[in-house]
Amino acid sequence: MDINSALQALRDPLGVPFFPWVFQLLMVLTFALHILFVNLVVGGLALAVYEHFKGGDFNLRLSKALAQVSTVNLSVAIVLGVAPLLFVQVIYDPFWYASNSLSAWWAMAFLLVIALGFLATYVFYLKRKKSPQGYGLFGVSGLVFVLCAGIIISALSVQALVPQKWLEWYSANGGLATTGTSLYHFEIGRFSHFIVPAFINIGIFMMLYAWYFRPRADADAAYLDWVGRSGAKMAKIAAMIQVVVGFWWLLTVPADLHFMRNPFLWIGASLGLLLLVGLMKAESAPDRYAIPMALLSFVAILGMGTAREALRMAYLGVFDYSIYTYPLNIDWGSTALFLVTFVMGLVVIAYPMTVAFKLGRGTLTES
């Protein structure tokens, strides 16, 4: 079977409504934003559960704060996840739909799993206010469900990269695998590379937490010092582990893709190492380094997201597939509508976010 011909036949005959490179750039950007909030959810829930069961005044206060913010972060992560998923469906539709069809049961189960994780996280936060020492198992359940959702989406993404195996999976054991009940391909190294940074970013979040509440008149300086230092230390250790995990995962990438020579890989890796150096310094002054480390972390995630897209193009380039040869049928109306509503949305939310920021710090004064 000519795989390239099959992939071309699976493309949408109407083509794409705008230049593919625009969708690709937006996909990388929105994925970086999405994975940042996924990191905050995983790291926040894991730490909230740990501090909940550990007990102690500072620990329970931090657990409550992280449980509360995890409900918000999970909402934002889900909303932000829609955009890169839609962009993938536009320019990589043959791969995404084939992978989802092979594991259709899991693709549908993903929605249920993430809904259950959402529910368990809310119960953990809301009920523990009445019983601080209770309802910890709901936090554990929320974390497990979120991780399961991550495993499913990671497996579906990896399956999409190996079209040479689709026919083998579909015709396994001499029959046709039409039930969609199997997940065929999962890479623990790749998955770990997305999960370990959760503890980097939640550590940086704790640094921001200490910096943010410091100006308040009712701030507990000892508590904020403890949160900031603990966050900086955790972020530093997690960044060290991420370096090891990153090289471990790279060793599993097929050598014939020559990804080790890809400049986007080394740009992303350099940003990660720069973040590690910054975090080593941040432990001595978490408040001062909070904003620089947060910005650098997002830039590093963006760099790694770009490297991830370069790797996907390398995988698919083996079959002479390129998104830049996708049939183009420009629809200026829908594109303009999308851009205008996007800009308007940013303008609309800017003011309430500014007010909420000032209110939380206790710096908003009457005019």
| Structure-token pair, residue 282 | 């941040």
Residue with tokens 């990153």: 246
The pLDDT mean for the chain works out to 89
At 366, is the pLDDT very low, low, confident or very high (cuts 50, 70, 90)?
A: very low
Integer Cα distance of 181 and 169 in angstroms: 12
Mean pLDDT lowest among 107-121, 292-306, 341-355? 341-355
Confidence at residue 128, expressed as pLDDT on a 0 to 100 scale: 66
Concatenated DSSP letters of 223-234: HHHHHHHHHHHH
Query: What burial class does residue 281 get, using C-beta atoms within 10 Å of its C-beta: 0-12 exposed, 13-18 middle, 19+ buried?
Result: middle
Integer Cα distance of 251 and 269 in angstroms: 14
At 131, is the pLDDT very low, low, confident or very high (cuts 50, 70, 90)?
A: low
Confidence at residue 55, expressed as pLDDT on a 0 to 100 scale: 83
- Angle, in degrees to the nearest 10, between helices 136-159 and 20-54: 150
How does pLDDT run across 2-39, given as a tens digit for each residue? 788 888 888 888 888 889 999 999 999 999 999 999 99
Confidence at residue 48, expressed as pLDDT on a 0 to 100 scale: 94
How does pLDDT run across 275-321, given as a tens digit for each residue? 999 999 998 899 999 999 999 999 999 999 999 999 999 999 999 89
At 346, is the pLDDT very low, low, confident or very high (cuts 50, 70, 90)?
A: confident
Mean pLDDT lowest among 11-25, 88-102, 323-337, 341-355? 341-355
The residue that leads in pLDDT, 123 or 9, is: 123
Confidence at residue 206, expressed as pLDDT on a 0 to 100 scale: 96
Confidence at residue 348, expressed as pLDDT on a 0 to 100 scale: 77
Under a CB-based contact definition with an 8 Å cutoff, are residues 314 and 262 in contact?
yes
Tell me the Cα Rg of the chain.
Answer: 22
Integer Cα distance of 230 and 225 in angstroms: 8
The residue that leads in pLDDT, 172 or 235, is: 235
At 56, is the pLDDT very low, low, confident or very high (cuts 50, 70, 90)?
A: confident
Question: Which residues lie closer than 8 Å to 153 by C-beta, 6 or more apart?
Answer: 110
- Chain centroid to Cα 298, Å, comes to 11
- Above 70 in pLDDT, residue 129? no
Mean pLDDT confidence for 103-129: 90
Confidence at residue 215, expressed as pLDDT on a 0 to 100 scale: 85
How does pLDDT run across 173-200, given as a tens digit for each residue? 666 777 888 889 899 999 999 999 999 9
Neighbours of 148 (CB within 10 A): 16
What's the predicted TM-score (pTM) here? 0.91
Q: Letter for the amino acid at 314?
A: A
- Above 90 in pLDDT, residue 92? yes
